Structure 1
């Protein structure tokens, strides 16, 4: 059951609530999103729901088709490869740029997030994923390139969705590698080792893609 919106009539509030449900898997890939039902659950107008769905469509989380309504995006191999390819290129540039421009407070924040990942290894998966996404957000902020940050924001919600499915399919593998991989990225940024950092940042993304695709293949084989 969706929690009622706290600010009636606001599309961004509706988008926040629906996005949370998508990330949690309660609206599965390919699932229909019906305005009437959403408006009733959120206790807002259909117009507000429509505005919220438009926000989520711009984020790439949902697709609207004329006469067919709005659905959560599918997790196809093609979509996964496209999103992770874009992310790999962006992360490589963000990490190497951050290595040149990061201030001490940026580095301290990355270290704090790595410690939180290690300390929360046995905690809720959604909390670990939030730390994961925040870590990369901090790298983009440290890079100091506004357009690069905007490019990351354009795919961030899709990355979150795909990573949430990766965790559901291969939870233990994600937990085992989270702090170590991000700790390595933080150390290389601190050392300003842009050559190794470029390769490591890309491989970090490609390993996530491989894990998701392997999890999906294993899940499909077991059906």
Structure 2
């Protein structure tokens, strides 16, 4: 066995904070899909070095939020049809497993929290809340379902795609704001109702899949047009 000591761990707190700040700005709509992220401007705005910004952007690139390349500007990811198919099909599989597991394991307090989040969505909608606020509540609702499922590896898989899901939902809603606002409360309230009522696994599995597939189809239609939204070789989530 090699007894050579490990290198000292390097504290990367500043880069993590940069990633958090830029991520929040993306999710808040300040940097929309396709927007450039310039190191010099971000460093000046955040009061940090360009090196910290570079590390923070590298973290966001690993999350799938930004794209960069040799001699190419760093930009916020714009969803393509391939991106949407991959991310939403992975999400559908994860959400279905999370929902049916949470149905068995959720506590009364966790179910109450889901209802509270749906009520807050409805109140914010009535008050004319902007897209970022509604999406934040939407994602918090699904975070609570994963927590209720109590499976650390499942939650880890969700966290691996969560940032891209948020970004793609942001792009979807920016293109079809009215459609999202018309569906967001009812879809989540029905999910919360089934989780509380203890419906059949099949019914909950179907609803969880449909919830994700509605978003997938909507964004594909907006990106490619109605004629290309459902290619023959792509099956709708079951």
Same fold (TM > 0.5): yes
Q: Distance in 2 between matches of 1:147 and 1:54?
A: 24
* Residues 1:213 and 2:224 aligned together: no
Which stretch of structure 1 is more off in the superposition, 22-31 or 141-150? 22-31
Q: Distance in 1 between matches of 2:62 and 2:108?
A: 35
Q: Distance in 2 between matches of 1:70 and 1:125?
A: 24
Q: Distance in 1 between matches of 2:183 and 2:32?
A: 26
- Secondary structure at 1:44's aligned position in 2? coil
Q: Distance in 2 between matches of 1:68 and 1:113?
A: 41
Decide whether aligned partners of structure 1 residues 24 and 217 sit closer, same or farther in structure 2, where only a CA change above 3 A counts. farther
Q: Distance in 1 between matches of 2:113 and 2:51?
A: 40
Runs of 4+ in 1 over 3 A off after TM superposition: none
> How far has the Cα of 1:47 moved from its partner?
1.5
1:1-54, CA deviations, whole angstroms, 9 ceiling, x for partnerless residues? Answer: xxxxxxxx7112211221123224443434432222221221111121112112
**Contact 2:80/2:223 (<8 A) preserved:** no
> How far has the Cα of 1:198 moved from its partner?
0.4
- Secondary structure at 1:63's aligned position in 2? strand
- Secondary structure at 2:79's aligned position in 1? coil
How many positions carry a matched residue from both structures? 211
- Secondary structure at 2:74's aligned position in 1? strand
Q: Distance in 2 between matches of 1:72 and 1:94?
A: 29
Select the residue among 195, 198, 221 that pairs with 2:202. 195
> How far has the Cα of 1:78 moved from its partner?
0.6
Select the residue among 83, 89, 100 that pairs with 1:85. 89
Which stretch of structure 1 is more off in the superposition, 40-49 or 17-26? 17-26
- Secondary structure at 2:18's aligned position in 1? helix
Select the residue among 134, 158, 162 that pairs with 1:156. 162
1:132-176, CA deviations, whole angstroms, 9 ceiling, x for partnerless residues? Answer: 000000000000000100111111111111111111111111111
Select the residue among 175, 187, 190 that pairs with 1:169. 175
Q: Distance in 2 between matches of 1:86 and 1:100?
A: 22
- Secondary structure at 2:48's aligned position in 1? coil
Q: Distance in 2 between matches of 1:211 and 1:118?
A: 22
* Residues 1:183 and 2:152 aligned together: no
TM-score with structure 1 setting the length:
0.88
Q: Find the counterpart in structure 1 of residue 99 from structure 2.
A: 95
- Secondary structure at 1:32's aligned position in 2? coil
For the aligned residue pairs, the C-alpha RMSD in angstroms reads 1.8
Q: Distance in 2 between matches of 1:130 and 1:29?
A: 17
Gaps of 5+ in 2: 1-12, 226-238
- Secondary structure at 1:71's aligned position in 2? strand
Bigger Rg, which one: 2
